Structure 1
């Protein structure tokens, strides 16, 4: 699959590469990405001002919408064909965050959605509202789901 991968800080190090399509493990959902949106945090990640300890290589972008194409054993919240939106902080589900819950974010410590496919734990996804286009729904993760 094609993915935009950051291999070092700076736009010159953001490269479109061929990478393997990830395979779902238990409770994982494979999403075919249909739209992403950029936010200021994505710019900061590329520039190195958001997380100077960013692990490389890292697929970029947090805000993603797409269709479920495969699910792992134990997935109960989604079915193949569902349209879903990524949750920006993949382990912060509810209430005040635990110390490390806000660290696990797409395009930062977890590969993001600027690729043909995105693999996430089912807890890091929500159903997309049917009245929004893919482009509209892709703007929700950082702005509305955080």
Structure 2
């Protein structure tokens, strides 16, 4: 009788432990930053963007980039953008340089459905869609 009781307690503990681990995995997945793909410029560069906890980051055509991002309503302030320093094809390097310059001039941001639209100070738009 004692063995059966201990086996039942151990099995119950194992099941409860596994379900709470699964719940924690789902919560982390829900909080993971969403990555968006640039769709209206530099089609072959595969440029992406994501935001998380006051940061912006993504892939800029050849390198990974990162920096600060403050979003206040529709206002966007991107600062201190830096990137890794890999070399690549000339066209992707040119697209990367231009994109990072536009990103540093970001002024407004709005989200529509699965899109993020960033507008620069001189009204150029960067349109990103969820990956």
Give the structure with the higher percent helix: 2
Structure with greater Cα Rg: 2
Does the pair score TM above 0.5? Answer: no
More strand by share: 2
The normalised TM-score by structure 2 is: 0.25
Give TM-score scaled by structure 1 length: 0.24
